[in-house]
């Protein structure tokens, strides 16, 4: 029974609004919602780099801090904890 409860916890998180993620406030959540990314699951599916590219494609000018914030938020981390290698990997993902 415990295993079942644990398995059902992940979808609840994925259904939560992106504003529930660490690092993302109401302004970031509104930008993402305008781009069709409303839930944690939406963001997880497209990834931080994919969301960043979509925001740019739609005419937005997202900051690199938003990229770091989304990536770290999906991991439950503070964006300032990303190291240079992680940031470089995100930058490389923007070019894919």
- pLDDT band of residue 68 (cuts 50, 70, 90) is very high
Residues 65 and 90: their CA atoms lie apart, in Å, by 11
Per residue in 32-56, pLDDT (tens digit) is 999 999 999 999 999 999 999 999 9
* Chain center to CA of 38: 10
Query: Could you please report the per-residue DSSP string of 24-77?
Result: --HHHHHHHHHTT--BHHHHHHHHHHHHHHHHHHTT----HHHHHHHHHHHTT-
Which token pair is 19?
Answer: 């504003």
- pTM of structure: 0.85
Alpha carbons within 13 A on the beta-carbon side of 23: 21
- pLDDT band of residue 13 (cuts 50, 70, 90) is confident
């Amino acid at each position: 029974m415990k295993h079942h409860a644990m398995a059902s916890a992940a979808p609840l998180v994925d259904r939560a609004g992106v504003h529930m993620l660490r690092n993302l406030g109401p302004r970031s959540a509104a930008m993402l919602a305008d781009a069709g990314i409303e839930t944690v699951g939406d963001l997880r599916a497209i990834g931080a780099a994919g969301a960043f590219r979509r925001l740019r494609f739609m005419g937005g000018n997202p900051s690199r801090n938003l990229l770091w914030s989304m990536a770290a938020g999906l991991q439950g981390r503070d964006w300032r904890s990303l190291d240079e290698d992680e940031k470089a990997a995100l930058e490389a993902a923007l070019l894919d």
